[in-house]
Amino acid sequence: IGTTKTVQVTISDGRCNLRTLPATVTITDGTGPTARCKSGVNVYLGSNGQVSIPGNTINDNSLGNCINSYVLTSTNFNCTNVTNTSIPLVQTITDSRDRTSTCNGSIIVWDTVKPIALCKPSVTVYLDTMGKVKLTPALLDNGSSDACGILSKTLNDSLFDCLDQGTHIVTMTVKDINNNTRTCLSTVTISDNAGVAIKCPDPISV
């Protein structure tokens, strides 16, 4: 495009009489581009809670010869963009002659990455003087994390008494702020270390 070439044109009169003449041809692109966009394109965060999308993410078969670039108004997104609603974007396409066209589209940012659930391999807890003990996630947690943040940590079993002395497998469920969950296991040993409390009466006279 934009170059000039010389070609030879040969003319015949049908009786084998020929004449050849030179002609100059300039190559041009006479049609500008037409941008077309999609709406509601799904985009997914990575394990770091971020995503960077290419310029043609919302392209919908835009028209044009020799399109050089696709540019979006925004390309970087993170946990704050996870709202389950469309984020409007404008796509600008440019051809080799710097002619541009724009269109409007949108994306939806999703977080489908499960949190990292880490439990302590083994934990020993002791019954209190009432013969009871209550486990908390903090006792079992060993550094669980999520790029977008943890909403809750829950245990499948947390209340124990004298009849539960011994080892138990306890499951902790970690849920992030976007409702993705993952579990881990910990071996919990219930022990009675309180001993027996004996209270003697005050001295009496007989």
Residue 173, Cβ neighbours under 10 Å: how many?
16
Report the pLDDT value the prediction gives residue 197, as an integer from 0 to 100: 65
CB 184 within 8 A of CB 167: no
pLDDT, residue 201, reads 82
Burial class (CB in 10 A: 0-12, 13-18, 19+), 197: exposed
Note the pLDDT of residue 195.
Answer: 59
CB contact at 8 A, 19 and 10 = yes
pLDDT at 96: 87
Give the model's pLDDT for residue 7: 92
What is the Cα–Cα distance from 206 to 196, expressed in whole angstroms? 29
- The per-residue pLDDT string of the chain (206 residues; one tens digit each, 9 = 90 and over) reads 778 899 999 888 878 888 999 998 888 767 889 999 999 999 999 999 999 999 999 999 999 888 999 999 999 999 999 988 999 999 999 998 899 999 999 999 999 999 999 999 999 999 998 999 999 999 999 999 999 999 999 999 999 999 999 999 999 999 999 999 999 999 999 998 755 667 788 888 88
pLDDT at 149: 97
pLDDT value for 194: 59
